[in-house]
Structure 1
Amino acid sequence: MRFSESEPLQPNPTIAGPSSKGLDSFLSSNGHTTATNGNGFVSYGNGASSNGVVEKHGKSALATVNLPGHLLYEDSNVDREEFVRLLLQSLRDVGYIESAATLEAESGYSMEEPEVKRFKEYVMSGMWTNAQDALLRLGIVDEDHLWDAKFLINKQKYLELLEAQQTTDALHVLRTELASSSPDPTQLHTLSSLIMCTEPEDIRQRAGWDGASGQSRKQLLLDLHRFIPASVMIPQRRFLTLLQQAHEDQLRRCIYHNTPLESTPFSLFSDHECNKDGFPGVTTTVLLGHADEVWNVEWSHDGSYLASGSKDKSAIIWYMGSDSKWEAHLILKDHQFPVHSLAWSLDDSKLLTGAEHHIKLWNTKTGSCLRTMEDHTETVTALSWLPDGSGFISGALDRRIIQWDIEGRKTLAWDATDIRVTDLAVTPDLTRVVTVGMHAPTSTDSSSRASRGTPGDTANANGSSASINAPLAPENRCIIYHLSTRQVESSIKLDGELTSVKISQDSRYALINHSPDEIQLWDLRLGRLARKFTGQRQGRHIIRSCFGGIDGSFVVSGSEDGNVYVWHRETGSLLEILSGHGEGSVNSVAWNPRNEQMFASCSDDHSIRIWEAPTQEMGLDVPNHADYPVSYSVKGKGKTRQVDGEGEDA
């Protein structure tokens, strides 16, 4: 915003445009040669100050620069006034007060109107009546926003009066000001209950508020920014926010980025870009211990152990030592059927295995089977520990979902689901259960639909429904349940078989393996398909994909062609096709939760491969991922012995 007429600027404004005089002109002033002092500051021979402002009689003689148009550059869409005002805010924030004053004088723009400055002073000084009067002059158009802003101010006023033990005045504010502006009766009830507190510390603790002498008034200003137009009162550190957003966007677009944000260098001079040297595209270890196809792998939460389940009716817990040497920690053989489902408890002390309709609970230190559960009547396809550690949940082809406690005792059997569950996952925020599977309507369903004239039914020449006595084609669905109520939130019909589902750490996205040859990313918040990942082969087998890398920035999947496929999650770009497994399908992949540069894959070739980023010691041909060293685990631990799948139970 321009200075108001009450604050006149120096006369004789300078008309400015693109510079044509060059560096030599910049380094001279009134014919006097300038020289630097070795620290980058310019020393003038005519008495000019170090910031380049010529002083006459102790007053600034800077003239306002009038530039054509209102854009920062002719070919940009950035408003010059907004840019300068953000610069003014940033300069003042970091302490360049004189530089900000110079820019303000030369540009003719002020960071904020005087009324905004006074409003901030009123809030920081606790002058609540003045603050409310000033609030009315800050351009809030929405009436609801005005009431919400008033409520926040009155709430602060009320809490400070209670803290000062001025209970009568606080009660007056509660009745006359808060009650009339409260957007939420529940919140008003909570505030009124604070009247009973006798100690200031009790008030602060119960209100989650740090007091008048803390940061609460600064926080109030931050909260008020939501209701006051940003063009009137610029949000705090706005320039820094824009820079951070740019950095985060660069990281999202960097297809091989795989390092934490806090350890990623950020330069304003160049865009961020990673090469693929840090990507785990090289096999460093091949684990051989199973005698048949390996169907599933899962990492422990501490990233030190890897569980594998196989068609050979065993599960193996592998251990990675501090020197990255692998060994078979335990071989769990007490299964009557192939092992297809695995799940670690939150503290990694227990492991669940699913084999047909049996669920077994194992002690991961001793290898002893703690309990066997046979409540399901068909194949158990999914096992998932609850994120709060209170127990686990299972799903099966018998259309049943069962909840269990940490000891393996059944606590709750859900009503029959609409699908034969092929996989399920609990969201990390403990709000939803996402299931996938197949619903096969019966002939009764078909007759019912025909009698209702359901669209899509066809009629024969006599006018009767041709499908009235025939079963409908199976429907593949993703059904999302609210965990606490077990009610269906949404049911999404999908074409093709659905074999696995994984949930992102922010609980927003579901990654669903979809046959044929497709992986889908669903936005659970918006209830829509966000992205597809294609290239891998899946038609007949169960393939389990996963998120991987920092913030789940990669999507990884096995394939029936024996390769591992990796995509960039944000763009959907196929980054890598990793070969190395033998004939047959790569059935499952799992990313190490503690090491962003390591994941595992398992295959019909009886092996498990550990993929890591190459190091200089490996001497690998990184671009082609060829000639990798392979180490085989043959040494057991304790009573465990493992050589080509042969060994004792621990």
Structure 2
Amino acid sequence: MHPSSTQMNRFSSSAASSSTSHPLGSDITVANLHEHSLLTNDLLAEDDPVIQQEILHLIGEYMASIPGPGLPHTLASLKEEMDLRSREEDERESERERLSGRMLDGDWPEAERLLAADPGLVRNPKAFLYKLYRQQFLELIEARESQKAFNLLLRRLKPLEHYQSYPTEFRDLSYLLSARAVSEAGESFDGWKWGGPAEGREELVEVLRGMQMHTTSQDSIGMGVVGRNEGGRGEGGGSSSDATPYVPPNRLMTLLRQAAAWQVYFSRYHPKVLPTIHTLLHDYTPFVLPNQLKDTYKNHSANVKAVAFLGASGTRLISGSSDATLSIVSTTSTPLTGPSRLLGHTSRIWDVDSTESGSFAASASGDGTVRIWETEKEGKCLAVLGGASREGDVYSVRWGRGKNEVVTGGYDKILKLYDVERGQIVKTFTGHTQPVTSTVFGPEGKVLVSGSTDRQIKVWDVSSGVLVHSIASSLGEISSVDIDHKGHHLLVSSKDNSNTLFDLRMFGRQLKRFGTHQNTSRNFIRSKFAHSSLIVGGSEDGLVYLWSQDQSEPLQTLQGHGRGAVYDVVWNDAQQLLASCGEDRTVRTWVWEAEKGEEEGKAQGGDASS
């Protein structure tokens, strides 16, 4: 679905001209729209049977407009089903009239039989049955037939007591057994309109009408409604309740285009070229390209090898350095309430990762260990994994889906899956012939991918430990691997100055190579998926690179780290924030600024400096 430029211009002009008079004011944003009635049932009466009927007609019109095998048959089946429902509703309405008549006549056995025969006469048949028994009970009290009233109360009303109108109603009904008439009960029944059997029965019929199923007659849908005005809403307006409504051509698609245009217009980031919307199941997510330096953190005394957001919220960053320390900083104006520095490693830190909640972090170090940290209170080291069982540096660590599993890779060429709580290895994955430099779990945690300096990419089944697939290509030594959120694509950084995209669904078929940046045998330069369309990565030339999955050349570069390599980058959706770290001993964050993007014309490409 792709709104035309004309449609978008009209929509934008209309929205802009009406912003000052809008009930939400001129500061309308996607964020505050969710706090107002524009996105609630107050705007669209979705429970209205007329709206429900029109939706069915829209579906029918859309189905009738699509050529192809099977659709005419499906449309005919839908029409037949709606006609059947219409006939059933006509019959049900006749039964409701009979039920109303029986209640007005006081023929309670027949009324009860009609309800039992078709519970669909009312929305909640048991709740209505309670009201019907209550009416009988009151009439028996008025007729001074105490024994019959007692039997009805015990056998009929008591099992339905939880449908009472107020918490003490059943108790008050029981009290009436000792009274000669309802009128003698005093204030307990002031709220009950009681003027004898006739008025009570009429009130019960009104209750029936209020509780009946809201369905309307349905004549036809889809075929034949396009272009028809007779009997429907014609050129001069007017309508007929018993005729097929007129559905304008392509009305459903028009409404969906308007919805997509609304999402694009009110998004935070306004693209220079209109996007193509590929899904209706999720709201439009803007294609954000950071173009401005936000913050610089100088908390390390040596180069910073790795950086990660602590949790999905993106309010905190953790970084690992060659000074053997971990640093935690706030990415918002809210000061940190937990630890700011984690100490314990005795050698450089190669990699860091966090649980989804951000409460726990893991760090991989040149001291041969992986340490598990609590990050919200005192920053305690909860476990030390490896050490005696690990030979050489640990280059990579990644959490599994929960907080109890991490996988590591390092100089000893072996992937090790740890149970964090027990501090024990539960599975090993062997097959690489050189050090493992990077590991990553698939989105569901069932697949594990590893990269190595042996230039091999291996895909493992986590539960069995079996090697599923090995990708051998003409790449250089692997410095990082990453999987997109759908689990479809694999991004590989290698020391031949390239980032390469593979399709995991096609047994690792190579799709595209992204270049221009620098990644040689000197450093571990990592690249990652930012969102569904954007790839971000570091480089030895001191720049942060951003690529679109559709283009080999960079969309944008970010200057700010100065001389020396940018080792790692990471993106956070919640904050729309990019973080990077490098040889200059700093961690930097990057955002998109509208004024800078418009001034330099770089919303869709080019260089942006800090």
Give the TM-score category using the shorter length.
0.5 to 0.7
Given the superposition, is the C-alpha separation of residues 112 and 608 from structure 1 closer, same or farther in structure 2, using an over 3 Å criterion? closer
Matched, 1:539 2:520: yes
Partner of 1:120: 78
Letter in 2 for 1:503: I
Shift of the alpha carbon at 1:616?
5.4
Partner of 2:293: 283
Q: Distance in 1 between matches of 2:69 and 2:415?
A: 60
Matched, 1:562 2:573: no
Matched, 1:368 2:380: yes
Give 1:592's match in structure 2, choosing from 572, 578, 581: 572
Partner of 2:446: 431
Give 2:592's match in structure 1, choosing from 576, 592, 613: 613
Partner of 1:158: none
Give 2:555's match in structure 1, choosing from 567, 571, 575: 575
Shift of the alpha carbon at 1:411?
4.4
Letter in 1 for 2:583: D
Give 1:344's match in structure 2, choosing from 341, 354, 367: 354
Given the superposition, is the C-alpha separation of residues 336 and 523 from structure 1 closer, same or farther in structure 2, using an over 3 Å criterion? same
Partner of 1:254: none
Q: Distance in 2 between matches of 1:362 and 1:555?
A: 29
Given the superposition, is the C-alpha separation of residues 271 and 581 from structure 1 closer, same or farther in structure 2, using an over 3 Å criterion? closer
Q: Distance in 1 between matches of 2:534 and 2:68?
A: 46
Q: Distance in 2 between matches of 1:610 and 1:436?
A: 27
Q: Distance in 2 between matches of 1:625 and 1:116?
A: 53
Letter in 1 for 2:436: V
Letter in 1 for 2:538: G
- Name the SS of the counterpart of 1:525 in structure 2: helix
For residues 579-630 of structure 1, what are the alpha-carbon distances to aligned partners after superposition, in whole Å with 9 as ceiling and x for unaligned? 111211111111124122x1111110111111111255999867587785xx
Give 1:359's match in structure 2, choosing from 359, 362, 370: 370
Letter in 1 for 2:527: S
The alignment's TM-score, normalised by the length of structure 1, stands at: 0.50
Letter in 1 for 2:525: I
For residues 238-274 of structure 1, what are the alpha-carbon distances to aligned partners after superposition, in whole Å with 9 as ceiling and x for unaligned? 96897899999x99xxxxxxx987955999xx94499
The question of whether the paired residues in 2 share the 8 Å contact of 1:319 and 1:327 is answered with no
Partner of 1:416: 430
Given the superposition, is the C-alpha separation of residues 295 and 477 from structure 1 closer, same or farther in structure 2, using an over 3 Å criterion? same
Q: Distance in 1 between matches of 2:291 and 2:299?
A: 23
The alignment's TM-score, normalised by the length of structure 2, stands at: 0.53
Matched, 1:525 2:505: yes
Shift of the alpha carbon at 1:122?
4.8
Partner of 1:305: 316
Q: Distance in 2 between matches of 1:319 and 1:557?
A: 22
The question of whether the paired residues in 2 share the 8 Å contact of 1:293 and 1:603 is answered with yes
Partner of 1:405: 419
Shift of the alpha carbon at 1:284?
1.6
Given the superposition, is the C-alpha separation of residues 524 and 114 from structure 1 closer, same or farther in structure 2, using an over 3 Å criterion? closer
Q: Distance in 1 between matches of 2:364 and 2:258?
A: 44
Shift of the alpha carbon at 1:524?
0.5
Letter in 2 for 1:505: H
The question of whether the paired residues in 1 share the 8 Å contact of 2:404 and 2:421 is answered with no
Q: Distance in 2 between matches of 1:308 and 1:603?
A: 10
Counterparts of 1:446-465 in structure 2 under 5 Å? none
Shift of the alpha carbon at 1:370?
1.4
Partner of 2:460: 481
Partner of 2:328: 317
Q: Which runs of 5+ in 1 are unaligned?
A: 1-90, 128-162, 165-212, 215-236, 252-258, 440-475, 629-650
Q: Distance in 2 between matches of 1:408 and 1:319?
A: 31
Q: Distance in 2 between matches of 1:277 and 1:113?
A: 35
Matched, 1:377 2:391: yes
Q: Distance in 1 between matches of 2:574 and 2:70?
A: 47
For residues 70-108 of structure 1, what are the alpha-carbon distances to aligned partners after superposition, in whole Å with 9 as ceiling and x for unaligned? xxxxxxxxxxxxxxxxxxxxx9858699xx8xxx9xx9x
Given the superposition, is the C-alpha separation of residues 500 and 244 from structure 1 closer, same or farther in structure 2, using an over 3 Å criterion? farther
For residues 410-458 of structure 1, what are the alpha-carbon distances to aligned partners after superposition, in whole Å with 9 as ceiling and x for unaligned? 241325233431111000122210111134xxxxxxxxxxxxxxxxxxx
Q: Distance in 1 between matches of 2:70 and 2:457?
A: 52
| Equivalent residue pairs, number | 375
Given the superposition, is the C-alpha separation of residues 327 and 347 from structure 1 closer, same or farther in structure 2, using an over 3 Å criterion? closer
Counterparts of 1:183-262 in structure 2 under 5 Å? none
The question of whether the paired residues in 2 share the 8 Å contact of 1:371 and 1:408 is answered with no
- Name the SS of the counterpart of 1:512 in structure 2: strand
Letter in 2 for 1:500: S
For residues 315-343 of structure 1, what are the alpha-carbon distances to aligned partners after superposition, in whole Å with 9 as ceiling and x for unaligned? 111123346x7899421232110011111
Task: Choose between structure 1 and 2: higher helix proportion.
Answer: 2
Given the superposition, is the C-alpha separation of residues 619 and 555 from structure 1 closer, same or farther in structure 2, using an over 3 Å criterion? closer
The question of whether the paired residues in 1 share the 8 Å contact of 2:556 and 2:607 is answered with no
- Counting aligned pairs with the same residue, the percent is 21
The question of whether the paired residues in 1 share the 8 Å contact of 2:419 and 2:426 is answered with no
Given the superposition, is the C-alpha separation of residues 537 and 414 from structure 1 closer, same or farther in structure 2, using an over 3 Å criterion? same
Given the superposition, is the C-alpha separation of residues 320 and 485 from structure 1 closer, same or farther in structure 2, using an over 3 Å criterion? same
Q: Which runs of 5+ in 2 are unaligned?
A: 1-52, 86-118, 121-212, 215-247, 277-283
Q: Distance in 1 between matches of 2:495 and 2:258?
A: 37
Shift of the alpha carbon at 1:552?
2.9
Q: Distance in 2 between matches of 1:331 and 1:111?
A: 65
For residues 474-525 of structure 1, what are the alpha-carbon distances to aligned partners after superposition, in whole Å with 9 as ceiling and x for unaligned? xx11110111121111111123111001110001111110221100111111
Q: Distance in 1 between matches of 2:499 and 2:525?
A: 10
Letter in 1 for 2:318: A
Given the superposition, is the C-alpha separation of residues 246 and 565 from structure 1 closer, same or farther in structure 2, using an over 3 Å criterion? farther
Matched, 1:514 2:526: no
Shift of the alpha carbon at 1:372?
1.3
The question of whether the paired residues in 2 share the 8 Å contact of 1:294 and 1:604 is answered with yes
- Name the SS of the counterpart of 2:444 in structure 1: coil
The question of whether the paired residues in 2 share the 8 Å contact of 1:358 and 1:376 is answered with yes
Given the superposition, is the C-alpha separation of residues 498 and 262 from structure 1 closer, same or farther in structure 2, using an over 3 Å criterion? farther
- Name the SS of the counterpart of 1:571 in structure 2: coil
Given the superposition, is the C-alpha separation of residues 265 and 412 from structure 1 closer, same or farther in structure 2, using an over 3 Å criterion? closer
For residues 525-574 of structure 1, what are the alpha-carbon distances to aligned partners after superposition, in whole Å with 9 as ceiling and x for unaligned? 112012111110111211011111xx432111111111111111233442
Q: Distance in 1 between matches of 2:380 and 2:495?
A: 38
Shift of the alpha carbon at 1:120?
3.1
Letter in 2 for 1:429: E
The question of whether the paired residues in 1 share the 8 Å contact of 2:559 and 2:608 is answered with no
- Name the SS of the counterpart of 2:452 in structure 1: strand
Given the superposition, is the C-alpha separation of residues 618 and 398 from structure 1 closer, same or farther in structure 2, using an over 3 Å criterion? same
The question of whether the paired residues in 2 share the 8 Å contact of 1:308 and 1:317 is answered with yes
Shift of the alpha carbon at 1:119?
3.2
Shift of the alpha carbon at 1:124?
5.7
